[in-house]
Structure 1
């Protein structure tokens, strides 16, 4: 009997930059719990599935963005607050105590939109900069099919240190893109194929503004990897011309989650 095809789900991820004068910016990483079904133990950026409440919230907003784009940005903001305690994408930075209470209430199941309204807070979706969109090909054996939009965001000065939610993630830390790439190549940490390609793309930049300028030169299109022989061995490949300096990796080393 044939196995049912994996269900495709919209998702959103936030790449948070913390600039350091004279040095490469740090990005916020989280280590996923070893018990997770997808990307167990891997280093990822904050984010997760975009849910029905995010779409309803987006439909109620006065924005020029398409509903699916607005919902993805809302999901990225919500997931970042849930998973790290950091409030990004707000019109005005909420008090740390208020943000903490909203986080606790969301983790208890209360809706994000209602919590924001109750606290008198509003979102500024333009604070999230579109960077990439990855959509695995189910025919190529992807273990999970998330249509994931990646956004760049700036760490807000004075924000508290991020803290893990101790459910989906067990450790949060700041590091440069190159640091994590080097640790992955050395076998110290795991990163999935899209994360590695995105880190290679981000590693050259010395600031958030440089990364934003680069992103503005590449319209966001879906990146759908495929398998073909490169250099005599099966490789996982992505298209050229989308801003990625590395566009293929041997299938035997490509961690797909």
Structure 2
């Protein structure tokens, strides 16, 4: 992913954090919240060219207005790690947790939880399951009421991802996702997330939907159109999402998005007072 060090986002374009950021900038301090580990997935496909629009599209959700974190904001499917994502013996195919650990710069156990959380969350939130009966076979067909019940059981934590895979005779396909970026929520936020951003191609014969209570809109978006709406103030996005959507916009096709980033620095915005007013400045660590 292209370096964004020094880039600034005005607080007026950063939803839900302007008050806390302004207080922090004014010198008020409070205990830093412990970041939650999280994973999110940029699910991409090639556009159909209708209306002259070409290039990749990305599936996104708009969070409901009542959410405590990032209300009414456009996001990729994702969420917090479930400790059971790190379960020993989770059915797995593709690069191993140790190989993922080398790429992410963490322990194999942590790498497994991030990758498994990415697979689980994209299934919970939009019904796309990157799992198959074998290491290289076609992906599972996950339509029908039974699979919606399974998604709800995952959301409610009545089932773990390992439970589902074992019961259905499937293996997680870690070869179908790539690591794109690593972002950490600023220190002044009352809710903080240590988030890995992954990307995956939309698989054929599955359908992405919006069957989640956390979103009031779920749709495939053309990155350039969303970025224009963001610039006009009619769509809300957090800085990490903006940067990722820009990279998708600039890719010639979806396959060019689903390539591991060469470098994966930890990025954490800091609140600064600049010549154009208070802003979030991107800092690589």
> TM-score normalized by structure 2?
0.74
1:159 pairs with one of 203, 206, 209: 206
Q: How does 1:172-251 map to 2 (within 5 A)?
A: 172-213=218-259, 215-216=260-261, 218-231=262-275, 233-239=277-283
Provide, for residues 69-95 of structure 1, a one-character-per-residue CA deviation record: whole Å limited to 9, x for no partner: 221111011111111112135554112
2:153 pairs with one of 91, 98, 105: 105
The answer (yes or no) to whether the contact 1:18–1:27 under 8 Å persists in 2 is: yes
Aligned residue in 2 for 1:70: 112
Provide, for residues 117-145 of structure 1, a one-character-per-residue CA deviation record: whole Å limited to 9, x for no partner: 0110111112110000001231xx22421
Aligned-residue RMSD, C-alpha: 2.5
Q: In the TM superposition, what is the alpha-carbon distance from 1:183 to its structure 2 partner?
A: 1.1
The answer (yes or no) to whether the contact 2:61–2:216 under 8 Å persists in 1 is: yes
Aligned residue in 1 for 2:196: 149
The 1-side partners of 2:276 and 2:235 are apart by 27
Runs of 5+ consecutive residues of structure 1 not aligned to the other structure: 243-257
Aligned residue in 2 for 1:54: 85
Secondary structure, in 3 states, of the residue corresponding to 2:37? strand
Secondary structure, in 3 states, of the residue corresponding to 2:240? helix
Secondary structure, in 3 states, of the residue corresponding to 1:203? helix
Larger RCO: 1 or 2 (CA < 8 Å, sep 6+): 2
Does residue 1:120 correspond to 2:165, yes or no? no
Would you say how many aligned residue pairs link Structure 1 and Structure 2? 235
Aligned residue in 1 for 2:3: none
1:85 pairs with one of 127, 130, 155: 127
The answer (yes or no) to whether the contact 2:85–2:117 under 8 Å persists in 1 is: yes
Runs of 5+ consecutive residues of structure 2 not aligned to the other structure: 1-28, 101-107
